[in-house]
Structures are given as C-alpha cells and as structure tokens.
Amino acid sequence: MAMEPQMWRELGLADAEYQRIVDVIGREPSPTELAMFSVEWSEHCGYPRSRPLLGLLPKEGKYAARVKGEDAGGIEVAPGITILFKMESHNHPSQVEPFQGAATGVGGIIRDIFTMGARPIAVLDPLRFGELDEPLARYLFRRVVEGISFYGNCLGVPTVGGELRFEAPYGGNCLVNVMAIGIVETDKVATSRAVGEGNPVIIVGNSTGRDGIGGASILASHEFAEDEEKRPTVQIGDPFTEKCLIEACLEALETGAVIGLKDMGAAGITCTTCEMSAAGDHGMDIDLQKVPRREPGMEPWELMMSESQERMLLVAQKGREDEVLGIFRKWGLNAVTIGRVTGDGMLRVRDNGELVAELEAKTLADPPVYHLPAEEPDYYREVQSADLSQVPLPNDMNAVLRDLLASPNIAAAAWACHQYDHMVQTNTVVAPGADAAVLQLKGHRQGIAVTTDGNGRYCYLDPYVGAQLVLAEAARNLVCVGADPAGVTDCLNFGNPEKPDRFWQFKRCVEGLADASRAFGLPVVSGNVSFYNETPNTAVYPTPVLGVVGVLDDVRRHCTPGFKRAGDVIILLGETHEDLGGTEYLKRSHGQVTGRPPTLDLEREKKVQAACLRAVREGLAASAHDCSDGGLAVALAESCIHGRVGANVARRPPASSSQHPRRMLRASRRSRPTSARQPLCSAKSGATTS
C-alpha cells in the first residue's frame, strides 16, 4: 500500500522529511514507523532546527558539571552531592487548557529529575501572559497557577520561586516554563541506557490511553492557527500516581537491580524505547499487547505515540525482575514486562504477533539537522537608534514610583506563591519573595540558592545583549542571597524558526548566552527549546528564561532584601548609567518599548558581584537586593517594604554615613529614574564602608 501524502502531513512531517525517511530506511515506512518518525524527528523531541546552535553553550565551568546526554544535567555542590536541574516549557498545552497544561508541565519536568535517581527538592515557575487587563490573560494566569498548585503541592515538592510577567506579546501564546531541581549522591546518578541482551523492558505507572496523542510534540512544533481543533492533544495530570512513581522509582534504583530508567514525556513509548536503545548501543523487542491500556481498540501507532502521563520505561537486570515489579506493586502501580533488550540495535515493535515496526534505534534517534537562515529584523535598526534623551522628565516622581510599584511586573507575587506549598520538605531557608530562594541540604553545611530570570523586552531590543543581561541578573540575584553562581539551565522560548527574523533572534540570544556563560564560568547543564510561540496576530518576545543554581558555603550565612534596622548604612555597588531603553518606566509612563537595553560590561559586572558576594559571606551585609525592573527607586522601596523601615538616600553619600534615617524614601526631583542593574547592600552600622 503506498502512503498518501496526507498521512505524513497530518503527522506534521514535511514532504521532504518524508522523503528523507524513505531514503534513510530504504523503503516506505509502515504506518506505525511513520508515526514514530514524526515524533522523534519533531522539533520538540529531536531539536533538528536548534541543535547546531546549542552546541555553542559551554558545558564546563568552575563547579564540576554533569551534563552528557541524560534527561537533566547538574553540578556537584558539595563532595559527593550533585544537584540536578532542568527547565522545560509547557506553553502551547497551557494556552489550550491552562490548568492541565501547567499541571502536566510540572509532572513532566519532575520526571526528568527522578528518572536520574535524584529526589526532586524544588520547582520554580517563570510565567508570562498578556496584559492583566485582558480577561483571557487573567483567566490563563489564574488557572495556570491553580494547575501548578494542584500538581506540585500534591507531590510534596515545594515551589520556591519563579517569575510573573504580563505583556501584550504573550497574549496569544502564554509562556509556562517550569524548572525542577533534584538531589542525588554523585555516584548514584542513574542512566537511561538500555544494555544487556535479554534484560527485561518494563513499563511502569499509569495505563496508556488516547489522551495527548501527538500532543506536546506536534503541538509544540507548529504555530497556533485560528480555531484549531486541539482537543485530542490535551494531557491530563494525575499527581497522586506521580508521587507514588517517585517513591517507587527511587526505591527500585536503590536495589541496584535497575539498569536504566527513562521518563515518558512527549512521544511516550516511541521516545523511551528508541532513545534508551540508542544510548545503550542496543536494541529492544517489545510487544504492545502487554501494555496496560485504558481504552479498547487502540491502534499500534496510537500506543506508540500516546502521551499519557505518569509513565516510565525501565530496564531491569535479568533474574531480578520480580524484586523490581514488587516495589511498584507495593506502591499500587502498574508494572509490566513488555519486552527484552536485544543486541542488534534494532527496535522491534510487535502487536498481536505481527511486526509493526522494525527500525534501527540510532536512525530514529538521530534526526536530520537543518541550518536555517537568519536575518536581522527591520525593527532592530529602529530601536537601536531611538533617541531617548528627548523623553520628558516626569513632574511627580512619587507618582512614578507608586505606579511602578503597582505594576504587575514588579508587585509581589504573593497571590501566586501562597497557593504553592513552598515549605514542604523543610529545606526552604529563604522563601519566595527574595532575590533568590535558599535551600538547605540536610546534613551539610552548604546550601543552594536558585532563581529564574528572563527579560523578553531586552531580548527583543537586542537579543545578544539581552540574553547576557538575563544571565547577569540571575547571577546578581544569587550573590544577593550569598550564593556563588554555579550552573545554568535554559528554556528558550521563541517564535517560528522558519521565519528568518525569528531565527535571527534565536541565534543572537544563544550566542549572547554562550559568551556570557563562558565569561561567568558557568556551565549550561541542561535546557529546552520552545519554538513556534506565535499566532497570526502575535509573536512572543524572544524570551530565553534562565534557571541558575548557586552554592552557599554555609547556608546560615545568607542575606535577604529587607533592610534590617534603622541606622544601617545603605551602599549602592556599581555604576549607574542613564539606561532607559526597555525599562518598565519607559513602558508605563511613556508607552514605549524601545531603545537599547542597559549597558553591560561583563568584567565590571563580575567584580561588582564578587564584592557583593564577599560582603554577604563575611557577614558585613545586613541585607542585599539587586536593582532590576524599576531600577534603584524600586529596589530601595522593596528593601524598605520587606524590612518595614524607611531609608534616607542622597545622590552623593553625606560626609557622615551613620545618620539616623527618619524619612521614607523620596526620590529627588532631579534624578532620572534609571534601570541601574546593580546590587544594593545595607551594611550593619559600625562596619567599615568604602
């Protein structure tokens, strides 16, 4: 039977891609094989469009990094202790069904962590929606937060941070990114390799249904068209089963009888069987009849593509099968042997005794690479040369400050944070609300700090500099709490890469991130690319979101943003320039998103951060906060609000710096609000200052 073009097109494959499949396997694929190729070679799973550039990102840094080809990467933060982390997007599913989309986003990224043998210890959720006065944006925001709360709280993994940004370009395509962090003894990191001929291949967790067939992978590999029928692609989350899966998987790994383990995210059984085989230089022979299902009459290709949640694939040691199966049964989970590892590198899928797919695992796992054209967009020249010296000074600085503090991009995220259990596991030393969250590692002096940051506006105005500013800000957030930045994960949210101006944004951001990571000595240990974040009416700002983990030598030596006592001296580190481009002020007070983002001198930035870090570590600083959105004025106000004290500041420090502050901050009429992105410390009075 010859294949109709409609068949592969419906699966999201271009004609050229189909031809390529025929060339590579030397024959027409069976329907099941075609489905398998369509998911493995999709952008979502195979990264064919982004891989060439991702190679630029550094894999090594000042802390021992652990990166290679697993689900998540990490860094060794203390002798023998590795922290694994990764961020992922669930943008399209959340736009379609915000509650389930966000919930399954949490579920998916958590699986990436425990599949490597790490216990998940924290989640962060950087979120971006349209302007809050849009009813749709409000609805999506509310439901996304509820979805994260529903799933994360039930798992008992604290949500300790994130971001909330509201801007028109995200109105048709929200960004729901989730970062997860786990802890594991370095020598116990599990692999996802299938090795050892004859070893049993076991599917565990939920049964397989038709939900989400072609969901994440197909959905994430296209723009949103108007009125598209997206129903079949929605996945439903079951956090209770996931919680049991975490416990059962970690318990099973502890026995030593597990050879390899991999979570089923997008593309379910296809992805796990093919990638575990390819990674282990082996093959697999599986029988679909054995797969527990929740609907009768499922076709082989449906089983292979289903994105039913809360499932894992596991390869156990021959002869110790029962031990492993027993652990999953104890936790009330399905666990069924569906096949065996083979030595010939072929993935064979059988159904009712019939061979429905027979492919070399490596071929399937190795999608072609596309080098897409990049082209500087028209707007770029224009914003670069915008003259901001003509922007009028506001009449009432107090009004400006009040307006900035009321901006949903700046105001506290307490409404969301209180819906998240951010304390469970009793490690949260600094809770959401500070520059970064601080977690203790029980039994160790060291602690970790973690933050997520993004800035679509800066990256839109200048993707190269913007990406660097994002990393600089994330690192600054970490030093403010007293942590040494140690490793990065990224979630790269962009528009349609097949449009050269969008791809240019992507390329410049990745280059900026690569250069800045190198300058800071930070490895990029893991990441995720989300393309096609656009509708016919809106394209999101190019938005790389970074998750950065830092290390505290002594978790007790940390700082928070609130001023601690009247009489303490306030010190502003770094230089202040007239950087107005892309600021929240320019947007709110003048309705403009233009100009160049703030100047960034990486060497100077590193020095400022080193000074701040030392002040916190040596106990000289009573508080520390970085100037970010809203600039110095907002930073001062936030430190006052957090600390419930006022502050008296002058443009130039007075001769005697130990004045008793009596008045609340009042911005001077002559000072121009800037976006100075620098740390602001308060030192204990009496400490020497310079």
Ligand X SMILES: Nc1ncnc2c1ncn2[C@@H]1O[C@H](COP(=O)(O)OP(=O)(O)O)[C@@H](O)[C@H]1O
Instruction: Note whether 458 and 495 are within 8 A (CB).
Output: no
Nearest to 214 by CA among 107, 99, 92, 102: 92
Read off φ and ψ for residue 530, nearest 5 degrees: -125, 110
Measured from the CB atom, the residue of 153 and 594 that comes closer to other proteins is 153
Measured from the CB atom, the residue of 119 and 588 that comes closer to other proteins is 119
Measured from the CB atom, the residue of 477 and 623 that comes closer to Mg ion is 477
The distance of closest approach from Cβ of residue 483 to other proteins in the complex, given in angstroms and rounded to an integer, is 15
Interacting residues toward ligand X by CB under 6 A: 125, 127, 159, 161-164, 413, 416-417, 432-435, 453, 477, 628-629
Task: Confirm or reject binding of residue 91 to other proteins (CB under 8 A).
Answer: no
Close Cβ partners of 467 (under 8 Å, ≥ 6 residues apart): 459, 508, 509, 510, 511, 512, 513, 516, 544
* Consecutive H or E run containing 203: strand 200-205
Q: By rule CB under 8 A, what string of x and - marks binding of each residue 398-427 to other proteins? A: -------------------xxxxxxxxxx-
Measured from the CB atom, the residue of 173 and 451 that comes closer to ligand X is 451
Measured from the CB atom, the residue of 513 and 645 that comes closer to other proteins is 645
From 87, 103, 123, 154, residue interacting with other proteins (rule: CB under 8 A): 154
Q: Looking at 59-67, 428-436, 464-472, 653-661, which segment touches Mg ion (CB under 5 A)?
A: 428-436
Between the CA atoms of 312, 315, 320 and 321, what dihedral angle is there, to the nearest 10 degrees?
Answer: 50
Task: Confirm or reject binding of residue 626 to Mg ion (CB under 5 A).
Answer: yes
Tokens linked to 560 = 């928070």
Query: Taking CB under 8 A as the criterion, which residues in 175-234 touch other proteins?
Result: 206-207, 209-211, 230-231, 234
From 83, 87, 102, 155, residue interacting with other proteins (rule: CB under 8 A): 155
Measured from the CB atom, the residue of 413 and 472 that comes closer to ligand X is 413
Task: Confirm or reject binding of residue 329 to other proteins (CB under 8 A).
Answer: no
Instruction: Note whether 174 and 260 are within 8 A (CB).
Output: no
**CA gap 431, 399 in Å, rounded:** 30
Q: At what angle do helices 239-255 and 135-155 cross, to 10 degrees?
A: 40
Residue in the structure block whose two tokens are 């502890």: 254
Task: Confirm or reject binding of residue 421 to Mg ion (CB under 5 A).
Answer: no
Q: Looking at 347-355, 428-436, 483-491, 519-527, which segment touches other proteins (CB under 8 A)?
A: 428-436
From 199, 270, 428, 477, residue interacting with Mg ion (rule: CB under 5 A): 477
The distance of closest approach from Cβ of residue 69 to other proteins in the complex, given in angstroms and rounded to an integer, is 31
**CA gap 370, 20 in Å, rounded:** 12
**CA gap 632, 313 in Å, rounded:** 51
| 175-185 and 81-89 beta bridge pairing | antiparallel
Q: Looking at 56-64, 220-228, 493-501, 627-635, which segment touches Mg ion (CB under 5 A)?
A: 627-635
Task: Confirm or reject binding of residue 239 to other proteins (CB under 8 A).
Answer: yes
* Consecutive H or E run containing 103: helix 98-114
Tokens linked to 236 = 């439903």
Tokens linked to 490 = 């990224």
90 labelled catalytic: yes
Measured from the CB atom, the residue of 440 and 682 that comes closer to other proteins is 440
444 labelled catalytic: no
The Cα-based distances of 10 to 36, 39, 44, 227, 310 in angstroms read 13, 12, 16, 17, 26
**CA gap 550, 486 in Å, rounded:** 5
Task: Confirm or reject binding of residue 440 to other proteins (CB under 8 A).
Answer: yes
Q: By rule CB under 8 A, what string of x and - marks binding of each residue 264-303 to other proteins? A: ------------------------------xx--------
Contacting positions for other proteins (CB under 8 A): 96-97, 99-100, 146, 149, 153-156, 206-207, 209-211, 230-231, 234, 236, 238-241, 243-244, 294-295, 308, 331-332, 417-426, 428-429, 431, 440, 442, 555-556
Which amino acids are annotated catalytic?
44, 90
